Amino acid sequence: MAGVVVVGSQWGDEGKGKITDYLSQKADVIARYQGGNNAGHTIEFNGQKFALRLIPSGIFSGNEVILGNGMVINPKAFLEEVEYLQSAGIATDKIKVSDRAHVILPYHLEIDELQEKRRGANNIGTTKKGIGPTYVDKYERLGLRIGEFIDEELFKERLKEILEVKKASFPEIESDFQSIFDEYKEYAKKIKPLVTDTALILDDYLQDGKNVLFEGAQGAMLDIDYGTYPFVTSSHPGANGVAEGSGIGPLYLTDAIGIVKAYTTRVGSGAFPTEIEGELADQIREVGHEYGTVTKRPRRIGWFDAVVVNQSRRMSSLTGISLMLLDVLSGIETLKICTAYTLDGEVIHALPSTIKQLNKVKPVYEEMPGWSEDITKVKSFDELPVNCQNYIRRIEELVKCPVTIFSVGPDREQTIVLKEVF
Ligand code: GDP
Ligand code: IMO
Ligand code: MG
């Protein structure tokens, strides 16, 4: 039995989709446990490229895939994604959706937009997919769950009730009951056959000694508690979110793989201690195609930050790191690694809790010589230029976790596994 989770260890977009797809070839079931279509996961193989938002990146393995209870699901976006996969000839008959996941409805998107406007210059830079407002309703106990959504009578009753309350708080909401109901009851009919208690399915696989793979969305620095609050998402992207968002306990996890870019990116607002601007940032952005999968926004670029990845290692009990996009760093003469911060002249090794302090921290850097070789065809650690090997070894030391996978290009084939998890 193996329960493995793939988690984002920076600010998202580290390459979780690629590694989930890769590992899913040896998994029996693949599950998402948090987030929604704020995620954009890219998968490339056999000259084909896919971008997924809701459906686990393990779908290409032909195995069963699960959208877990911790997710927030936009039914329209979900059905569009199913169609997108079907039109590319990918089988979608093994998708299961948790009866306890929460439904994103049109008013959530409106509220997301409104809140961002109200925040003005302090806006979070959300993906405007209604994620935050849907999680707010969940914890307010004003959410609509998939199990209720697929019961037409119940959906009608609950939607009426909820919309009334929401409109009292947000008079600007334009969505009306009848048009939401008429449109969404049709989506509910299509989704109904996929809905079940997905925790029972996961438990069956685990009890049978099978391989279960969990796919995180977003990243550790966007965690609602330990991220750069309030510039975060509204869920727990790390291994800490698996139990809560899938219905199985934490002790079923046998490995947690931290997906880590060989540098750092962030999309949206908020502190980013190792951010760089100018020519080098532009070069990395172009070589690494650092533009959002969902929003197409240019990603902010920065040096590798060991303080950040250490925090992810602590939160997720990482057992291995998958170091991504190493190829993008070829040709940079000197690389910087952030080993600690200073705050008001004092050296610190963890992120402070307030945004005021976060905006004040200064990175402490060490420099390492880079490499100029093209590494995109490398198949083993030994084939890497020695400076690249040293860079990897230094990251392992600083983060206190072994690099068990590394990646030298977007394709499935450009993945080198140093230690298997399944
Ligand atoms: P995710 O959200 O964590 O799944 O990551 P995204 O898909 O949003 O962004 C990662 C991007 O990097 C995608 O465009 C991938 O195709 C690409 N990618 C993944 N691994 C590598 C790599 O090793 N090298 C290069 N050049 N690109 C990679
Ligand atoms: P994947 O899974 C990168 C960011 C948004 C914003 C903040 C809150 O592809 O790594 P939200 O819409 O969630 O309320 O936005 O979180 N964000 C992501 N950044 N990758 C993601 O997903 C993200 N999902 C949300 O840009 O700063
Ligand atoms: Mg992404």
Residue 294 predicted with pLDDT over 80: no
Q: What helix, strand, coil percent values describe the chain, rounded to 5?
A: 40, 25, 40
124, 107, 112: which is closest to 168 by C-alpha? 107
Predicted pLDDT at 118: 96
Residues 310 and 370 in one domain: yes
Helix residue spans in 170-271 (DSSP H)? 177-191, 198-207, 242-246
Q: Residue 301 C-alpha to ligand 1 middle, in angstroms?
A: 14
Confidence at 271, pLDDT banded by 50, 70, 90: very high
Torsion 17-23-29-32 (CA) sign: negative
Question: Could you tell me if 91 and 143 lie in one domain?
Answer: no
**Residues with Cβ–ion distance below 5 A, ligand 3:** 13, 40, 293
The Cα–Cα gap between 100 and 33 comes to: 11
Domain extent at residue 133: 102-191
Pair 182, 142 in one domain: yes
pTM confidence score = 0.98
Task: Report helix, strand or coil for 293.
Answer: coil
Residue 422 lies in a domain: no
Answer yes or no: is 271 within a domain: yes
Question: Do both 237 and 285 map to the same domain?
Answer: no
Mutation probe of ligand 2 site: the residue of 74, 129, 267 with most atoms within 8 A of C-beta: 267
Query: Is the pLDDT assigned to residue 296 strictly greater than 90?
Result: no
Active-site positions read: 13, 41
Residue 267 lies in a domain: yes
**Residue 220 pLDDT > 80, yes or no?**
yes
pLDDT, residue 295, reads 76
From 73, 79, 75, 65, select the one nearest 100 (Cα to Cα). Answer: 73
Determine the atom of ligand 2 nearest the C-alpha atom of 268. 27
Residues 398 and 330 in one domain: yes
Are residue 168 and residue 132 in the same domain, yes or no?
yes
Q: Mind listing the pLDDT tens digit for each residue in 57-111?
A: 999 999 999 999 999 999 999 999 999 999 999 999 999 999 999 999 999 999 9
Could you tell me if 251 and 111 lie in one domain?
no
Is 317 in the same domain as 405? yes
Number of the ligand 1 atom closest to the C-alpha atom of 414: 23
- What was the pLDDT predicted at 293? 80
- Clarify whether residues 309 and 383 are in a common domain: yes
Q: How confident is the model at residue 343, as a pLDDT?
A: 98
Whether the per-residue pLDDT at 194 is higher than 80: the answer is: yes
**Residue 345 shares a structural domain with residue 412:** yes
CATH number, domain at 139? 1.10.300.10
Q: Quote the ligand 3 centre to 364 CA distance (angstroms).
A: 28
Q: Distance between CA 312 and CA 46 in Å, rounded?
A: 32
Q: From ligand 1's centre to the CA of 266, what distance in Å?
A: 13
What is the C-alpha to C-alpha distance for residues 39 and 50, in angstroms, rounded to an integer? 13
